[in-house]
Structure 1
Amino acid sequence: MTEPSPATLLDRHPGLDPDFAALLEQVRTSGAAPLSALTPAEARARVRAGGGACAPGPALATVVDDPGRGGEPPIRRYLPAHARPDLVLVWFHGGGWTVGDLDYLDPFCRLLAERLHCEVRSVDYRLAPEHPFPAAVEDAERAVRGCAGRSVIVAGDSAGGNLAAVVAQRLCRDLEIRGQLLVYPVVDHDFTRESYRTRVGLVLGVDEMEFLFRTYGPADRSDPAVSPLRAADLTGLPPAVVVAAGHDPLHDEDVAYAEALSSAGVRVQLLRFPSLVHGFLRYTAVVPAAARATEEVLAAAALMAAR
């Protein structure tokens, strides 16, 4: 009698993009240690090595690293030719507040600058565990306050989306924040949601997120500066584009945040990509569906900038 074949990722996760399934299967069979078993240095090296799966961004008139002044964190400035002077987008990279750097999504920052015709400032905020919470939030606030006098879009992916959402809540009454672009952001810490229970064995899971929250080090994970979905009042926040990946444990909290913003009277565009996984912006060179989704995100960001 023939033994049944072991279930594949596509068997366990119907609707998962086949290209992503093939990549994740390669990772599974490679014997690579889980993120939670790595030191911060090892995790950062692994993430840097994965940057080649992202298609290169366009050449721009100016791309320069600024070491930061007056207590502001270091940034990378992206300036297209004929950049509009009134608008700046401040970008916070992902990586669970623990990994990632200015190169993490350099191609996407270039695309944002080109499509929005504005300066993009990517923030090299301090990372945990060397600099635990609230260091990243403090750096994010300083970076946005450094744009005073101009209209600002705050933006980021994953933990960077968390920082963008937090900054929007904390600064929208002090500065002119035109909008927020939140790409599969961390907005809560509830691991009992259905997407945490069913989107296992992919990029993120409970073990990885528990490791990242523990490394980030907040004493109270329900603090809105950690879990912006827990904020008591979301009224008056700037318009938002919220991006949710269907095969992401964060999917349900991202949808919940979009719904909470909408219920508070905030204009929200929820972009859902059912077949994609967490982190898809970094796979545009090898996953066509990720490249197409990235174009949709850019179009939504450009529309926000034009309003």
Structure 2
Amino acid sequence: MVLTRRELLTGLGAAAGLASAGPVWSSLALGEMRVDTLSDGHLTLPVDLTFGALPSQDVAPIIAKHGLSDETLTPECNLTLLRHGDHVVLFDAGAGPDFQPSAGKLDAALDALGLAPEDITDVVITHGHPDHIWGLLDDFDEPLFSNAEYYIGTKERDYWLADDTVDTIGAERQSFAIGAKRRLEAIADRMTPIKDGENILPGVTALASFGHTPGHMAFAVNQGSETLLVVGDAIGNHHLAFDHPDWPSSADQDPETGIATRLRLFDQISAEKMRLIGFHLPGGLGRAEKHGAGYIFVPEEI
């Protein structure tokens, strides 16, 4: 198979991005809105966390095409910051200091923009995994974003706050459940549960995108004729998810529902020619271009 220059650059995007990443990846104007893509660092994960459900003969071509390691993956962590009127909205809170030492770098990104945690007015949560919400609390277990209101899907909130989640989630994810419950309980009095299709803030609409977690939410940011989709981990990487959106990922708690969600989001993104920001996509911001039975992620730097 001969790769085009675009395909080659896309495949090398993750490795190159980690070498050159600054705290702010991109800044985009949507009418009166400004959207910044912020680096929270990166993770180091075993390959099986993504590819474990697939036979090795299917995995090898994907790893070769995208220049990935066959032992570990190092996905970037990208937070989205929206400024619109009086609102300074952060989508997800990052990993904080307690998950992996290579992540939890949000403070540098905020500082680069002249912002501090207390300037955040709203925190919008896609889902309850550690790299997305363990940054909610400071070193004293107090809410880091002290002036913010918090938004999370009703189903997602209920799942992580349920007493039996720690016993049903599986041994390898028990620490996720314990950590999520502690953090969500700490912001419970300022947390608004949200549902599919709800306009939660001016220009921001919640979209159910279940599968990666039971109540995962994506968010459409609308201004005039333009829509930007903040997909969280519903489209969780630039390789497997794009090349074969109809294949299961071991990173999803419900792989079959995750497949249905990816296919629906890709249909919407491509049909409406939307930009998207993915939490683990190289640089975060880009577009999805149809390519055969799958898609190609085309990063966009602005």
Shared fold (TM-score greater than 0.5)? no
More strand, by proportion: 2
Which TM bucket (shorter chain)? Answer: 0.3 to 0.5
More helix, by proportion: 1
TM-score with structure 2 setting the length: 0.33
TM-score with structure 1 setting the length: 0.33
